[in-house]
Amino acid sequence: MLAIGLMSGTSLDGVDACLVDIKKGKKCKFNIVHFTYVPYDKELKNKILKVATNKPCTVQCICSLNVEISKAYVSAVKKLLKDSKVKINDVEFIAMHGQTVWHNPDSRDNYESSTLQLGDPSVLAAAFGCKVISNFRTMDMAYGGSGAPLVPFANYVLYSSKKENIALQNIGGISNVTYLKKNGTLKDIVAFDTGPGNMLIDAAMRRLFRKDYDDCGKIAKRGRVVEEVLQELLNDPYLYQLPPKSTGREKYNDALLSEIILKIRGLGGSDTDIITTLAAYTADCIVLSYEKLLPKIDRVIMSGGGVFNQFIMERLTNKLPCIVEKEKNYESLEAFSFAILGYYTLQGVATNVPSVTGASKPCILGNITNPIIRGEI
């Protein structure tokens, strides 16, 4: 069976598309056949960023954006099929995460606990004539969970070990970790967002250098860490809060960045020092989370766009007392994971992990959009 997983994360850079081969059996096997990445064009990215940063925007704009993002997903699937030389008729289903524009897992300020991922599965179902599974987060939240992180189930399927305690660390817009206890069960999983990933770094790069990101961490490697500001950032109560917990752009936003820039400049720091300090913040949040919130770790497997940042990777390698390595499919892991989640949704299997999200019970994640007409009334 072939399936497609689609992911666009909080970094807002584009769409990851992963073609997955699924071999059914007592223990299913999942293998990546092909992966492609399609960046958002600048206009679409700016529209998403406007909504995601809670800037004034009309309902009409959001409604249109929902379809525009769907069309970007369609383009990504077409490229994936073309590059892999696979026909859509051979694909059983598409699992799409959607583009998160708001994630508020806690009721506060008179707003309900809620999440919103844009991208209409009907557009993909109509374009390709196959089942689409989407909207993975809301059922977990309906049962009182935070709706994140969701990939721990897939991580368990792919990486659980009888010999090692493994931490799977993803650095996207937000950083998140899944801890898999040696010889453990689903109930033993610990997973949570460790703090910012590339989000603050990318925002600072756009503001200060007019670039979308720090290519390979080159700018971060040229500056110095402003320790006074870094230590203040590391005093954030969220970092010491016990899981389950998740965070997002609602916390690591433009207002926080402006405050950080002001403080670093007030201490004589340069724009380069700002990027260096933010990169150190991402790395040190991970280190602190491991030290304060996780048991012994034997191996850390890294994934996500942050893996390209050499400053972050070197800082983690130097500070963590265990093996740190890149996942061989580090770019495609999240899209791969949603294909796995989609498969189990179709099998009627619960894939949230209540000990991770805080949900009151296990539940089946995702809505199924089926374009196939099986009969008429």
Q: Do 167 and 303 share a structural domain?
A: yes
Residue 375 maps to a domain: no
- Yes or no: say if 303 and 324 are a contact pair by the CB < 8 Å rule: no
Which band of pLDDT confidence, cut at 50, 70 and 90, is reported for residue 153?
very high
Q: Do 13 and 142 share a structural domain?
A: yes
Mean pLDDT of the chain: 95
Q: Do 188 and 300 share a structural domain?
A: yes
Range of the domain at 238: 152-320
317 Cβ neighbours under 8 A, 6+ residues apart: 324
The C-alpha atoms of residue 317 and residue 67 are separated, in whole angstroms, by: 42
Report the CATH number at residue 265: 3.30.420.40
Q: Do 240 and 365 share a structural domain?
A: no
Residue 332 maps to a domain: no
Q: Do 352 and 299 share a structural domain?
A: no
Q: Report the pLDDT value the prediction gives residue 329, as an integer from 0 to 100.
A: 86
Q: Report the pLDDT value the prediction gives residue 119, as an integer from 0 to 100.
A: 98
252 Cβ neighbours under 8 A, 6+ residues apart: 174, 195, 196, 199, 200
Parallel, antiparallel, or unpaired: how do β-strands 91-104 and 131-134 relate? Answer: parallel
Q: Do 364 and 215 share a structural domain?
A: no
Q: What is the mean pLDDT of residues 187-216?
A: 96
Q: Report the pLDDT value the prediction gives residue 248, as an integer from 0 to 100.
A: 86
Question: What confidence tens digit (pLDDT) does each residue in 254-284 have?
Answer: 999 999 999 999 999 999 999 999 999 999 9
User: What would the two tokens of residue 32 be?
Assistant: 């990546």
Q: Report the pLDDT value the prediction gives residue 376, as an integer from 0 to 100.
A: 60
Q: What is the mean pLDDT of residues 157-179?
A: 96
Which band of pLDDT confidence, cut at 50, 70 and 90, is reported for residue 249?
confident
Distance of CA 6 to the CA centre of its chain: 11
Q: Do 224 and 181 share a structural domain?
A: yes
Residue 328 maps to a domain: no
Q: Report the pLDDT value the prediction gives residue 336, as an integer from 0 to 100.
A: 97
Q: Do 194 and 169 share a structural domain?
A: yes
Number of domains in the chain: 2
Q: Report the pLDDT value the prediction gives residue 250, as an integer from 0 to 100.
A: 83
Question: What confidence tens digit (pLDDT) does each residue in 88-143 have?
Answer: 999 999 999 999 998 888 887 788 989 999 999 999 999 999 999 999 999 999 99
pLDDT above 70 coverage of the chain, percent: 99
Q: Do 182 and 118 share a structural domain?
A: no
Q: Do 184 and 77 share a structural domain?
A: no
Residue 334 maps to a domain: no
Residue 290 maps to a domain: yes
Residue 235 maps to a domain: yes
The C-alpha atoms of residue 352 and residue 357 are separated, in whole angstroms, by: 7
Q: Report the pLDDT value the prediction gives residue 374, as an integer from 0 to 100.
A: 56
Q: Report the pLDDT value the prediction gives residue 70, as an integer from 0 to 100.
A: 98
Q: Do 191 and 132 share a structural domain?
A: no
Question: What confidence tens digit (pLDDT) does each residue in 300-353 have?
Answer: 999 999 999 999 999 999 999 999 999 888 889 999 999 999 999 999 999 999
pTM of the complete model: 0.91
Residue 353 maps to a domain: yes
Residue 173 maps to a domain: yes
Burial class (CB in 10 A: 0-12, 13-18, 19+), 326: middle
Q: Report the pLDDT value the prediction gives residue 107, as an integer from 0 to 100.
A: 80
Q: Do 291 and 202 share a structural domain?
A: yes
